[in-house]
Amino acid sequence: MGINPYTPYPVTIKRVVVENEDKDIKSFELVFTNPEHEKAFNYLPGQFAEISVWGYGECPIGMASSPTEKGILRFTVKKTGGVVTTALHNLQPGRQIGVRGPLGNSYPVNEIKGKNIFIIGGGFAFTTLRSLLTYLIHPDNRNNYADITVIYGARSPGELIYKDEIALWQQRDDLNVYITVDKADEHWDGLEGFVPTIAEQVIKSWDNGVAFVCGPPIMIKFTIPVLLKAGFPPELIYTSLEMRMKCGIGKCGRCNIGPKYVCKHGPIFTFAELQQLPSEY
């Protein structure tokens, strides 16, 4: 972040990828106008940034790219009906927008070295998990981690995001990849079933593992008991929270859950931490 934490860095939209059949999830690949800004924007998987569309405002979005992917910054954004995501979805490559960050804490990529990694995602909440996975499997990092298991599901085949990359992950022999859909269609030959159900079939024991769970609240609600039953300590189950945010630096006062500010103490919390907080999120 620069001297003024409210001023975004100018960036240009390089590429826009429509990620799903409903066409309401798009990935935006951004390049920094000023190379100095790219150097200053030093982030880790799990962090987020405020995206500015001039004239419409800002919204907080988790980084979908990994810091190992030099030269671009990627955000995957669902058009929720909000002012900024709607404006962003109308933009074409070449347009300039702003990015302010990196903000918040990150997944503990250093603390989990040597562990078995379980990445469990649902729907379009796979974005920062994609950042994490891309980071972990980078040639410089892959040897630092033991087995990596990915369980990812969506409502239907057309709603899976990052389809091209999923195909590449499935080809790797150093990843266990389980892609599932709630409801298959005539072209789908993969797994069918909810993410917690698949997780229960795949994860039998804790086995020095650490789990990262992101998805719709209902998915998280039913996945956490599966992990606890397998023996995962609550301190080793991580999730990422969302709240309405404005400043992103713990001042504007709206993203707190009890005494914790999602923008500053989070967005990544362990299940053990969440158990200490009021259920107001």
Interface with other proteins by CB under 8 A: which residues? 1, 3-8, 10, 33, 52, 54-59, 80-82, 85, 96, 98, 242-244, 246-247, 249-254, 256-259, 264, 278, 280-281
C-alpha gyration radius of the chain: 18
Helix (H/G/I), strand (E/B), else coil: 257: strand
Which residues, in sequence order, are bridge partners of residue 152?
121, 179
Closest approach of Cβ 191 to other proteins, in Å? 27
Nearer to other proteins, 33 or 170 (CB): 33
Q: What's the closest the beta carbon of residue 248 comes to other proteins, in angstroms?
A: 10
Q: How far apart are CA 42 and CA 226, in angstroms?
A: 35
Cα torsion through 256, 261, 266, 271, rounded to 10: -50
Residue with tokens 């405020």: 50
> CA quadruple 112, 213, 253, 86: dihedral positive or negative?
positive
- Alpha-helical (H) ranges within the chain are 35-40, 83-89, 127-136, 163-171, 195-202, 217-230, 271-275
Smallest gap from residue 72 Cβ to other proteins (A): 19
**Would you say 5 or 190 has its CB closer to other proteins?**
5
Contact 18, 26 (CB under 8 A): yes
Asked whether the bond before 267 is cis by omega within 30 degrees of 0, the reply is yes
Contact present, 13 and 87 (Cβ < 8 Å): no
As measured in angstroms, the least distance from the Cβ of 28 to other proteins is 16
Rounded to a whole number of angstroms, the minimum distance from the CB of residue 187 to other proteins is 29
Shortest spacing between CB 270 and other proteins, in angstroms: 18
Nearer to other proteins, 37 or 138 (CB): 37
Q: Between residues 27 and 85, which has the closer beta carbon with respect to other proteins?
A: 85
**Which two tokens mark 8?**
């975004």
| Closer residue to other proteins (CB): 229 or 254 | 254
* Identity of the residue, 201 or 276, whose beta carbon is nearer to other proteins in the bound complex: 276
Task: Give yes or no for a contact between 117 and 107, defined as CB atoms under 8 angstroms apart.
Answer: no
Of the pair 109, 257, the CB lying nearest other proteins is at: 257
- Minimum Å gap between C-beta 281 and other proteins is 5
